[in-house]
Amino acid sequence: MGNLKRRSIKITAPILELLSFFELTYLIELEAELDERLVRNKTPLRLGHKPTKQNIEWSEKDLTNSMKKYRLYSLPGEIKRIT
């Protein structure tokens, strides 16, 4: 995904402890390039369900800035299996 900074979502001990109550838990990450996310943000379904996306100019600027500022995926080894 280029030279973008990514949002680091750290899974903290309390969250891991909560997840440990379940017999089986999967953490799944979905990724999309900026151009794909900008297209998705304008679909009628998304605009109908997410009022903040209806201001398309603001939404695109916010998305672009977020993708520049944060790392939006985990690195290999950041999420560990709990046994």
Mean pLDDT of 40-50: 90
- Between CA 78 and CA 75 the distance in angstroms is 6
Mean pLDDT of 50-61: 91
Domain positions in the chain: 1-21+31-83
| E strand or H helix at 62 | helix 56-69
- Between CA 64 and CA 15 the distance in angstroms is 28
Q: Which of 17-21, 29-33, 65-69, 73-77 has the highest mean pLDDT?
A: 65-69
pLDDT value, residue 56? 93
Mean pLDDT of 18-34: 75
- Between CA 28 and CA 14 the distance in angstroms is 19
| Global pTM value | 0.58
